[in-house]
Amino acid sequence: MYKLFTHNDLDGVSCGIVARLAFGDKVDVRYNSVMGLDHQVERFLESDKKHKDVHMLITDLSVNEKNAKGLNDYVKEGGKVDLIDHHKTAIHLNDYSWGHVTVEYEDGRLASATSLLYEFLVEKDLLKPSGALEEYVELVRQYDIWEWEKNENIKAKQLNDLFFMVSLDEFEEKMVARLQDADHFEYDDFEEKLLEMEEDKIERYIRRKKRELVQTFIGDYCTGIVHAESYHSELGSELGKEHSHLDYITILNMGGRKISFRTIHDNVDVSAVAGQFGGGGHAKAAGCSMNEESYELYVKAAFTIEPLRQDFTKNHYNIKNSVDGSLYVNREEEDFFIYEKKHHQWVVERNGQALSSVFPSFEEAERYIKRNYSAWLTRDEHFVDYLKKYVSNDKKREA
Ligand SMILES: [Mn+2]
């Protein structure tokens, strides 16, 4: 008999699916949150100690110091345990005979728990490799370690969408049945339709959230803050790309009292931001529970800020990086005119007065006014009025 403790996200549940394919009803699968595992392991060590016929597998999660010692003692007494993980923070468990932690394969690809468990079971002849299963495992791996975005592997993202549309048990059951004896992994027509609808729904949701984003400085970082309960990955990436002058995106979930941080920039580490408030995570995606301090900064102080406006995109004349200059405005109805005075010398005029800083590129000038004045590219009509006003002023000056 096998007992599998695994994570409750797509990678973790796919470990459950792989284990089910290998062991059928001879495995008892438990899905846990990151916080929940240690409690489960503790209970197992206390109660099931004598059941030496149980082979324990832990995937996509790691145990604390106390449980690591407990498991090690259990193994010394003849218990069977294998912990298979791919998180950097679990590397030290490789010191134990039962710890199998691989972050990166020899060819440089990042591992996922599912890919590691799959290979582990195939190597031990406990699972028969198949085309469909191999494809499925690769989709999970690409999704879990964010490789799908770079590869534009939509099928991997869709797998995660589907995962969230049905219950854990239903997903497990569906996938086990599908992977059992197929050459390729495919979605059926109904799922394709569902995924299409989901895509539309996410698009509408993001469009709405774009109009609610507020901008502020917290510490040295300029962040965009939005309230949202769902689609954090999609939101973080869309808002981050659209407002690339923001260092990171903050997503507030008031009901769950949680804060998520996302960034698209390599020079920003949001796990450090989350760490200041007792949270953690990865460099590009992290989070924390909401405490008094983070509430004051991200919720209360941001409440009175007006949402950020998007650049006007339907212009013919007022366009970015143009030889005629580009005009921006802000909520205070100030004008910001960016133009190239000399080669690599970009000037910003604020209400007709040049700022003292000069910028080496259009992008840097724009970034400066977006970060410091929350300005957006204004519409053509205003641009034409602005040019008329200042061109006629120049003429008066000449006369
Ligand atoms: Mn994982």
60 falls within a domain: yes
* pLDDT surpasses 80 at 192: yes
201 C-alpha vs ligand 1 centroid, how far in Å? 26
Average pLDDT over residues 130-150: 93
The predicted structure's pLDDT at residue 182:
85
* pLDDT tens digits, one per residue of 245-260: 999 999 999 999 999 9
114 C-alpha vs ligand 1 centroid, how far in Å? 7
* pLDDT surpasses 90 at 155: yes
192 C-alpha vs ligand 1 centroid, how far in Å? 25
- Distance CA(325)–CA(337), nearest Å, equals 7
310 falls within a domain: no
368 C-alpha vs ligand 1 centroid, how far in Å? 38
Average pLDDT over residues 287-298: 95
The predicted structure's pLDDT at residue 104:
94
95 C-alpha vs ligand 1 centroid, how far in Å? 21
- Distance CA(362)–CA(245), nearest Å, equals 13
Strands 80-85 and 99-101: parallel
185 C-alpha vs ligand 1 centroid, how far in Å? 20
Same domain, 91 and 154: yes
> Which CATH number does the domain housing residue 61 bear?
3.90.1640
* pLDDT surpasses 70 at 396: no
Average pLDDT over residues 160-166: 93
Token reading at 57: 């597998």
111 C-alpha vs ligand 1 centroid, how far in Å? 8
Report the chain's mean pLDDT, rounded to a whole number: 93
The predicted structure's pLDDT at residue 243:
96
The predicted structure's pLDDT at residue 281:
80
257 falls within a domain: yes
301 C-alpha vs ligand 1 centroid, how far in Å? 35
In the structure, what pLDDT confidence band is assigned to residue 265 with cuts at 50, 70 and 90? very high
- Cβ atoms of 319 and 326 within 8 Å: the answer is yes
* pLDDT tens digits, one per residue of 102-135: 999 999 999 999 999 999 999 999 999 999 999 9
72 C-alpha vs ligand 1 centroid, how far in Å? 23
321 falls within a domain: no
140 C-alpha vs ligand 1 centroid, how far in Å? 9
Q: Which residues surround ligand 1, an ion (CB under 5 A)?
A: 11, 60, 113, 144
16 C-alpha vs ligand 1 centroid, how far in Å? 12
34-43, 67-76, 135-144, 183-192 — which is least confidently predicted? 34-43
In the structure, what pLDDT confidence band is assigned to residue 194 with cuts at 50, 70 and 90? very high
328 C-alpha vs ligand 1 centroid, how far in Å? 44
* pLDDT tens digits, one per residue of 218-254: 999 999 999 999 999 899 999 999 999 999 999 999 9
Average pLDDT over residues 340-358: 94
113 C-alpha vs ligand 1 centroid, how far in Å? 5
Same domain, 41 and 160: yes
367 C-alpha vs ligand 1 centroid, how far in Å? 35
112 C-alpha vs ligand 1 centroid, how far in Å? 5
Same domain, 129 and 160: yes
The predicted structure's pLDDT at residue 283:
86
84 C-alpha vs ligand 1 centroid, how far in Å? 10
155 C-alpha vs ligand 1 centroid, how far in Å? 18
Same domain, 267 and 149: no
64 C-alpha vs ligand 1 centroid, how far in Å? 17
The predicted structure's pLDDT at residue 181:
77
Same domain, 14 and 143: yes
Using alpha carbons, list the distances in angstroms from residue 354 to 338, 390, 393.
9, 13, 15
The predicted structure's pLDDT at residue 73:
94
195 falls within a domain: no
68 falls within a domain: yes
297 C-alpha vs ligand 1 centroid, how far in Å? 31
- Distance CA(261)–CA(282), nearest Å, equals 10
Show the CA angle centred on residue 279, arms to residues 278 and 284, nearest 5°. 140
The predicted structure's pLDDT at residue 395:
53
314 falls within a domain: no
b/e map 33-57, b = 16+ CB within 10 Å: eeeebbebbeebbeeeeeeeebbbb
133 C-alpha vs ligand 1 centroid, how far in Å? 17
Same domain, 97 and 169: yes
356 C-alpha vs ligand 1 centroid, how far in Å? 49
Same domain, 128 and 170: yes
In the structure, what pLDDT confidence band is assigned to residue 48 with cuts at 50, 70 and 90? low
11 C-alpha vs ligand 1 centroid, how far in Å? 5
Q: What is the DSSP annotation of 261-287?
A: EE---TT--HHHHHHTTT-EE-SSEEE
Which residue type, as a one-letter code, is found at position 162?
L
Same domain, 214 and 276: yes
In the structure, what pLDDT confidence band is assigned to residue 375 with cuts at 50, 70 and 90? very high
Same domain, 242 and 391: no
> Which CATH number does the domain housing residue 295 bear?
3.10.310.30
> How many structural domains does the chain have?
3
Same domain, 216 and 331: no
In the structure, what pLDDT confidence band is assigned to residue 49 with cuts at 50, 70 and 90? low
162 C-alpha vs ligand 1 centroid, how far in Å? 17
- Distance CA(3)–CA(32), nearest Å, equals 13
Which strand (E) or helix (H) includes residue 48? none
246 falls within a domain: yes
69 C-alpha vs ligand 1 centroid, how far in Å? 23
249 C-alpha vs ligand 1 centroid, how far in Å? 23
- Cβ atoms of 56 and 3 within 8 Å: the answer is yes
The predicted structure's pLDDT at residue 251:
98
* pLDDT surpasses 90 at 389: no
Same domain, 31 and 92: yes
Same domain, 242 and 343: no
Give the domain range for residue 381.
Answer: 326-398
* pLDDT surpasses 90 at 88: no
Answering whether pTM is above 0.95, one says no
In the structure, what pLDDT confidence band is assigned to residue 146 with cuts at 50, 70 and 90? confident
The predicted structure's pLDDT at residue 22:
97
